Amino acid sequence: MNLISPSQPTTPNVLKDIRKLTEGEIKVALEGSGEKPFRAKQIYEWLWQKSAQSFDEMTNLSKDFRTWLKENFWLRPITIATEQRSNDGTIKVAFRLYDNHLVEGVLIPTEDRMTACISSQVGCSLTCKFCATGYMDRIRNLDAGEIYDQVVFINRIAQANYQQHLSNIVYMGMGEPMLNYANVLQSVEHLTSESGLNMSPKRITVSTAGVAKMIKKLGDDNVKFNLALSLHAANDEKRNQIMPINESNSLEALREALKYYFQKTKNKVTYEYIVFHKFNDTLKDAEELHQFTKHLPAKVNVIEYNPIAEANFMNTDEQTLNKFCSYLDKKGVNVHLRRSRGKDIDAACGQLAIKDRK
């Protein structure tokens, strides 16, 4: 690591993003500043416990030291570009990143919980046919700080609008979390550790479209948060049609990976299943879903589809939806019907996409 002393000239290409350093790395970097090593702990607390958005907020550090920090490090939090409020109280936020890209996050308030839905990538590479994000290009991964910031800002919005803190976090926004594995896990660490926001990992759910080898890695890393699989069809032919990732991560491969994950973590798996009109809404489809999910302790969230302009899928009718859920319930499946929230502002499941990229 190149140490920068206060007397050395600085240019943008030698600045480091301070939020990409560990506390130990910050301590090493401070050796050239003339400050005591314990300042590293104070800085780290400002970054991850107090969620400082600038060095000027670090008021227990001297002004000269804060100036030195600004001359030698980046601190680049996200900012809020726009907010939209749904008729049902859901709030969608477009976040602007340091390089001017945008991602979206959503606050979903219900009677018993306050949930933040956050993004892990700018765009997505998986091209799921029913998802608006899938029609965007994947620009880049979000770093851990950018993911963390979404939670901080959405929590502030929850407090301002509902006088409540967040109770739950779901990585179900833009992007595939398992294709940004290191940053996602690091962000969870900042959210859950005592040196961070100290949230319970059991209040966090990370969703994947199904990257089998990374699901196994979650097991090897013995993660404590919850895992959700976006399933949406329980036979390979249908799943291939709507989720191209299934061609390289078949249902059999996913079943094996999930079994391995459960053996390692003992965490119950959640299956997400969007019901499309005359595609995956028959009782035969329900039985296939039952057969796929019965091998592990699990719950199934049956989700109303939220139409998007890019696709021709439609939500199934209420009677068919009720029959589908009733069949699963009679088979002993732990099934929950999730109603759409925020459809009128394109904030519901599968609708997140940056329409105005300016």
Using an 8 Å Cβ cutoff, are 112 and 164 in contact? no
d(CA 111, CA 13): 49
pLDDT of residue 307: 80
Residue ranges and CATH numbers for the domains of the chain are 12-74 (1.10.150.530), 79-345 (3.20.20.70)
Q: What's the mean pLDDT in 128-143?
A: 90
Instruction: For residue 10, name the pLDDT band (cuts at 50, 70, 90).
Output: very low
d(CA 151, CA 116): 7
Q: Is the pLDDT of residue 349 over 50?
A: yes
Using an 8 Å Cβ cutoff, are 107 and 121 in contact? no
Which tens digit of pLDDT belongs to each residue from 36-85? 989 999 999 999 999 999 999 999 999 999 999 999 999 999 999 999 99
Sign for the pseudo-dihedral over CA of 61, 62, 68, 74: positive
d(CA 342, CA 256): 35
Return mean pLDDT, the chain. Answer: 91
pLDDT of residue 133: 82
pLDDT of residue 343: 60
Using an 8 Å Cβ cutoff, are 12 and 63 in contact? no
- Count, residues in the chain: 358
d(CA 324, CA 182): 38
Q: Is the pLDDT of residue 341 over 80?
A: no
**Tokens 């249908």 label which residue?**
238
d(CA 228, CA 325): 19
pLDDT of residue 8: 39
pLDDT of residue 308: 79
Catalytic residue, from 31, 71, 104, 325: name it. 104
Q: Which H or E run includes 326?
A: helix 318-330
Indicate if 104 belongs to the active site.
Answer: yes
Q: What's the mean pLDDT in 296-321?
A: 89
pLDDT of residue 345: 53
Using an 8 Å Cβ cutoff, are 27 and 36 in contact? no
pLDDT of residue 13: 47
Catalytic residue, from 117, 131, 325, 349: name it. 349
**End-to-end Cα separation, the chain, in angstroms:** 37
Residue 170: φ, ψ to 5°: -125, 130
Strand, helix or coil at 177?
A: helix
Which tens digit of pLDDT belongs to each residue from 191-211? 999 999 999 999 999 999 999
pLDDT of residue 223: 98
- Edge-to-edge strand list for the sheet holding 226-230: 79-85, 91-96, 102-109, 114-117, 168-171, 204-208, 226-230, 269-275, 298-304, 335-338
